[in-house]
């Protein structure tokens, strides 16, 4: 047996920086610890501020999903102030949130994920040269077009919100804009261009309708070989290459999932409440654990700080949540190792457990039975999970599957805007109240809890998808989802552990974090051999 402590710092391209330390035994990762390494204190800044401060501050938590932050912070205020939302406002919010995700899918795939597919570790693959031709940074044919065209969907965001990233145009009671005819027609034309030039021509090699006919894993495999165009599209090629280099073999994770859902059917959410939220969703919420579906219930969420650099002695619901940082040096002496808190969910019969969030979680939620007519019902990924189990490949497929789906939804919402009806209902600014707002950023469930007292923010807590996924161990020493997903990863070349990059990046996390790994069998840190840095 050879045991190696491997330290990788930084591991970039995760919308931040990631340090990785793993222990490898016989060429396989046995245990991992994740560490978020940067603290800004947004929840502390928000305390005592204007109730609407979250509309300006929370988008700046993350620049790639700032529109998602805005979306959920607006809904948190809608709930707290008991507003009325005109249907037009819900449509515009849906459109913009979805356009941010449409931007994220190709930008993430080419710029952050796919360039690792050109790593020399794969030079023996018969498809390697083709991968380099397509995905090499800056010069790859697909890279250049995919990254460049990813700016198109957010042009639509700018038409309604003024700019992307970092607008604050969604406000309690609706949106600030009142689009005109050409705003809508231009949006349609921009999306049509993006669909023609990238989504269908380059990515799918077929119509979006054809791709969305796929209901099973066998359908997907048959689709790849159906014709030259699909076989040679970026997606067709990616599936073939991923299977060749084994991306379907590792990175499974905890196998339990949470989606808070997003996009509302306008007529079902004119008066936003916590209780009415699940039924009004188009992209469904849900928890899938132990092979069973459960209804999403925000009251079952707790944040544990046992291993996080914060004061606190018990898991708290975000309405009671605290953010009291401590010097990491002092924290380490207490066994703490991350700036991320560890979110946990009380699954009936299973207790508080870590859950993976993101596109795969959304696709599993969409496979649950008994959808309402306005809701997403899509069996594909439940089938894929049954047939081949979760992996880096399946997580990627789930993400890119949303591009054609959301495109259709956005076109439908654009068609439903009534330019002669209102986009805003002025709310009463109640001096006190509690609100919960949530959405699905490209990378997963993103939620705010706000408590307003005496006309100012008494408490504000945010749980990001990155916290769900990269969060550290909890009081029971149960690892977080990425920590778990790292385990079992085969490392071909410890000098260049590209496989760790695949796993970390398959979660598309957006925070500076570190992964440490120790001997899975003894729990002790191994140091028989150290490369790539200072352990």
Partner 1 sequence: MSSVLWLQGGACSGNTMSFLNAEEPNVVDLITDFGLDLLWHPSLGMELGEHAQKIFRDCAEGRRPLDIFVFEGTVIQGPDGTGRYDMFAERPMKDWVADLAKAAQIVVAIGDCACWGGIPATEPNPSGSTGLQFHKRERGGFLGPDFRSKMGLPVINIPGCPAHPDWITQVIVALASGRAGDIALDELHRPQTFFKTFTQTGCTRVQFFEYKQATPSFGDGTRTGCLFYEFGCRGPMTHSPCNRILWNRQSSKTRAGMPCIGCTEPEFPFFDLAPGTVFKTQKVSGTIPKEIPEGTDHLTYMAHAAAAQIAAPQWSKEDMFVV
> From the list 34, 75, 174, 191, which residue makes contact with partner 1 (rule: CB under 8 A)?
174
> From the list 3, 28, 125, 155, which residue makes contact with partner 1 (rule: CB under 8 A)?
155
- Residues 389-408, interacting with partner 1 (CB under 8 A): none
- Residues 484-513, interacting with partner 1 (CB under 8 A): 496-498, 501, 510, 512
The answer for 381, left when phi > 0, alpha when psi is -120 to 50, beta otherwise, is: alpha
* Residue 121 CB, nearest approach to partner 1 (Å): 12
Do residues 23 and 515 make contact, with C-beta atoms less than 8 angstroms apart? Answer: no
Among the listed residues 46, 534, 83, 478, the one whose alpha carbon sits nearest the alpha carbon of residue 304: 478
List the x/- string, 102-141, binding to partner 1 by CB under 8 A: -----x---xx--x---------------------xxx--
* Residue 435 CB, nearest approach to partner 1 (Å): 16
Q: Binding-site residue total for partner 1 (CB under 8 A)?
A: 98
> From the list 159, 482, 486, 515, which residue makes contact with partner 1 (rule: CB under 8 A)?
159
Give the contacts of 192 (CB within 8 A, at least 6 positions apart).
none
> From the list 81, 113, 128, 169, which residue makes contact with partner 1 (rule: CB under 8 A)?
169
Residue tagged 């005496």 (tokens): 454
By CB atoms closer than 10 A (0-12, 13-18, 19+), residue 209 is exposed
| Closest to partner 1 by CB, 222 or 419 | 419
Among the listed residues 48, 76, 45, the one whose alpha carbon sits nearest the alpha carbon of residue 298: 76
Three-state SS for 148-205 is: HHCCCHHHHHHHHHCCCCCCCCEECCEECCCCCHHHHHHHHHHHHHHHHHHHHHHHHC
| Closest to partner 1 by CB, 57 or 131 | 57
> From the list 84, 186, 317, 475, which residue makes contact with partner 1 (rule: CB under 8 A)?
186
- Residues 410-429, interacting with partner 1 (CB under 8 A): 419-420, 422-426
Stretch that binds partner 1, among 11-19, 387-395, 471-479, 481-489 (CB under 8 A): 11-19
363 touches partner 1 by CB under 8 A: no
List the x/- string, 441-480, binding to partner 1 by CB under 8 A: --------------xx------------------------
* Residue 176 CB, nearest approach to partner 1 (Å): 4
> From the list 4, 29, 32, 64, which residue makes contact with partner 1 (rule: CB under 8 A)?
64
Instruction: Give the orientation angle of helix 153-161 with respect to helix 87-106, to 10 degrees.
Output: 150
157 touches partner 1 by CB under 8 A: yes
* Residue 415 CB, nearest approach to partner 1 (Å): 15
* Residue 67 CB, nearest approach to partner 1 (Å): 11
Q: How far apart are CA 216 and CA 146, in angstroms?
A: 27
* Residue 323 CB, nearest approach to partner 1 (Å): 8
Phi–psi pair at 30, nearest 5 degrees:
-105, -25
**Which residue stretches of 311-456 are H helix?**
328-333, 359-365, 380-388, 392-416
* Residue 96 CB, nearest approach to partner 1 (Å): 11
| Closest to partner 1 by CB, 140 or 471 | 140
* Residue 99 CB, nearest approach to partner 1 (Å): 11
Do residues 113 and 505 make contact, with C-beta atoms less than 8 angstroms apart? Answer: yes
Bridging pattern class, strands 18-25 and 513-516: parallel
| Closest to partner 1 by CB, 112 or 235 | 112
- Residues 23-52, interacting with partner 1 (CB under 8 A): 37-42, 44-45, 48-52
| Closest to partner 1 by CB, 390 or 427 | 427
Opening angle at CA 356, ends 353 and 362, nearest 5: 125
Among the listed residues 359, 442, 369, 444, the one whose alpha carbon sits nearest the alpha carbon of residue 394: 359
Torsion angle of alpha carbons 380, 386, 391, 393, nearest 10°? -30
Question: Within a 10 A sphere around the Cβ of 341, how many other Cβ atoms?
Answer: 30
| Closest to partner 1 by CB, 178 or 274 | 178
**Which residue stretches of 357-437 are H helix?**
359-365, 380-388, 392-416
* Residue 389 CB, nearest approach to partner 1 (Å): 27
278 touches partner 1 by CB under 8 A: no
């Amino acid at each position: 047996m050879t045991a190696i402590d491997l330290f990788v710092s930084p591991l970039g391209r995760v919308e931040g920086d990631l340090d990785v330390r793993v222990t490898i035994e016989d060429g396989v990762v046995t245990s991992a610890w994740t560490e978020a390494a940067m603290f800004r204190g947004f929840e502390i800044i928000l305390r005592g501020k204007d109730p609407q401060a979250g509309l300006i501050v929370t988008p700046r938590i993350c620049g790639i999903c700032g529109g998602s932050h805005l979306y959920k912070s607006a809904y948190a205020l809608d709930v707290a102030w008991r507003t009325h939302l005109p249907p037009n406002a819900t449509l515009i919010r849906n459109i913009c949130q979805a356009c941010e995700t449409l931007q994220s899918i190709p930008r993430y795939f080419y710029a952050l994920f796919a360039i690792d597919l050109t790593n020399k570790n794969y030079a023996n693959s018969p498809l390697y040269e083709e991968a380099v031709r397509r995905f090499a940074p800056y010069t790859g044919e697909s890279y250049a077009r995919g990254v460049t065209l990813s700016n198109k969907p957010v042009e639509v965001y700018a038409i309604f919100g003024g700019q992307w990233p970092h607008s604050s145009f969604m406000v309690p009671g609706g949106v600030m804009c009142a689009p005109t005819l050409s705003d809508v027609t231009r949006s349609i034309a921009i999306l049509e261009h993006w669909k023609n030039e990238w989504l269908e021509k380059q990515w799918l090699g077929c119509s979006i309708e054809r791709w969305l006919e796929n209901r099973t894993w066998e359908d997907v495999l048959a689709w790849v070989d159906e014709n030259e165009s699909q076989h040679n599209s970026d997606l067709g090629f990616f599936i073939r290459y991923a299977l060749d280099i084994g991306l379907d073999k590792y990175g499974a994770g905890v196998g339990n999932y949470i989606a808070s859902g997003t996009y509302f059917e306008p007529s079902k959410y004119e008066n936003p409440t916590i209780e009415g939220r699940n039924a009004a969703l188009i992209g469904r919420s849900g928890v899938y654990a132990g092979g069973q579906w459960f209804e999403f219930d925000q009251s079952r969420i707790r944040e544990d700080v046992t291993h996080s650099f914060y004061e606190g002695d018990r898991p708290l619901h975000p309405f009671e949540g605290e953010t009291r940082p401590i010097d990491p040096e002092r924290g380490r002496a207490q066994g703490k190792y991350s700036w991320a808190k560890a979110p946990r969910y009380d699954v009936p019969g299973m207790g508080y457990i870590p859950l993976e969030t993101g596109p795969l979680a959304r696709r599993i939620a969409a496979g649950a039975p008994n959808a309402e007519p306005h809701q997403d019902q899509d069996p594909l990924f439940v089938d894929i999970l049954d047939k081949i189990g979760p992996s880096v490949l399946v997580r990627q497929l789930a993400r890119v599957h949303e591009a054609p789906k959301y495109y259709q939804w956005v076109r439908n919402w654009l068609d439903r805007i009534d330019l002669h009806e209102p986009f805003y209902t002025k709310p009463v600014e109640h001096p006190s109240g509690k609100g919960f707002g949530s959405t699905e950023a490209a990378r997963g469930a993103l939620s705010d809890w706000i408590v307003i007292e005496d006309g100012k923010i008494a408490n504000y807590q945010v749980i990001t998808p990155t916290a769900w996924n990269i969060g550290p161990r909890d009081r029971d020493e149960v690892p977080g989802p990425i920590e778990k997903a790292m385990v079992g990863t085969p490392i071909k070349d410890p000098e260049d552990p590209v496989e760790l990059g695949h796993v970390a990046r398959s979660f598309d996390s957006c925070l500076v974090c570190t992964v440490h790994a120790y001997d899975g069998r003894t729990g002790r840190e191994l140091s028989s051999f150290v490369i790539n840095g200072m352990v």
